[in-house]
Amino acid sequence: MIRKLISEVPCIGTGNVILRKVTLAEKESLKKMTCNPHVYRYLPAFLYKKKYEDIEYVINHLYDEDSNDSFITGIYFKDDFCGLEEIYGFRDDDHKISIGYRLMEEYWGLGIATEALRLMTEYLFKNTDIELITASVLPENKASARVLEKNGFDLIEQNVPEDWGFDKPLPTDKWIKRLIYQKDDL
């Protein structure tokens, strides 16, 4: 139950990149992003597996009490909506969570995903009992792998079959980042 970890959407960051709640003001941008085949070539199962045509409905139900499987924040660059970051797969006993992110195509290559991932991993390590964050990336998504590397994630397995909502499992690279305790913390 992810709501046990984070009960409400935080506003994280200052400066150019901020993570915060997605609102109806982002309706057209979110629709544009979810309809872009370049964005979705690596993300077929995202946003209710594209089950709902009505983006307004999705936004209105994004933070319902019963949506316990994942937690989504909007990524904003200079106050403009540019993407989403999601935490999911919460395992309380293991102090573990998984993370994913996606940006609108016009925001690729600007360092926004790197900064958004840094903000969320720092938030999770400082404000929750999470000690392990994982990410799964399709091997051909080199840009996403580079974002993980820049944030101190380690590649631990390659080409592991995983269900991403396609007809058959896809080979996926597995990444991990552990909370490192400082001597002062002990």
State how far the Cα of 63 lies from the Cα of 10, in Å rounded to an integer: 12
State how far the Cα of 105 lies from the Cα of 101, in Å rounded to an integer: 13
pLDDT of 154 reads 97
pLDDT of 68 reads 63
Q: Assess contact for 49 and 165: CB atoms under 8 A.
A: yes
Mind listing the pLDDT tens digit of every residue in the chain (186 residues)? 676 777 788 899 988 999 999 999 999 998 888 888 888 776 655 554 456 667 888 888 787 755 667 888 999 999 999 999 999 888 888 999 999 999 999 999 999 999 999 999 999 999 999 999 999 999 999 999 999 999 999 999 999 998 877 788 889 999 999 997 654 554
pLDDT of 48 reads 46
Q: What is the pLDDT of residues 92-115, one digit of tens each?
A: 889 999 999 999 999 999 999 999
Angle at 50 between CA 46 and CA 56, to 5 degrees: 105
Name the domain count of the chain.
1
pLDDT of 181 reads 64
pLDDT of 47 reads 53
pLDDT of 148 reads 97
Q: Max Cα separation, the chain? A: 51
SS3 sequence of 73-110: EEEEECCEEEEEEEEEEEECCCCEEEEEEEECHHHCCC
Q: What is the CATH number of the domain that holds 153?
A: 3.40.630.30
State how far the Cα of 11 lies from the Cα of 21, in Å rounded to an integer: 7
Q: Which domain holds residue 93?
A: 2-185
Q: 54, exposed or middle or buried, with CB in 10 Å at 0-12, 13-18, 19+?
A: exposed
Token digits for 72?
A: 């989504």
Q: 59, exposed or middle or buried, with CB in 10 Å at 0-12, 13-18, 19+?
A: buried
State how far the Cα of 138 lies from the Cα of 126, in Å rounded to an integer: 29
State how far the Cα of 96 lies from the Cα of 170, in Å rounded to an integer: 23
pLDDT of 107 reads 96
CA dihedral 117, 88, 32, 83 (to 10 degrees): -20
pTM, whole model, 2 decimals? 0.89
pLDDT of 183 reads 43
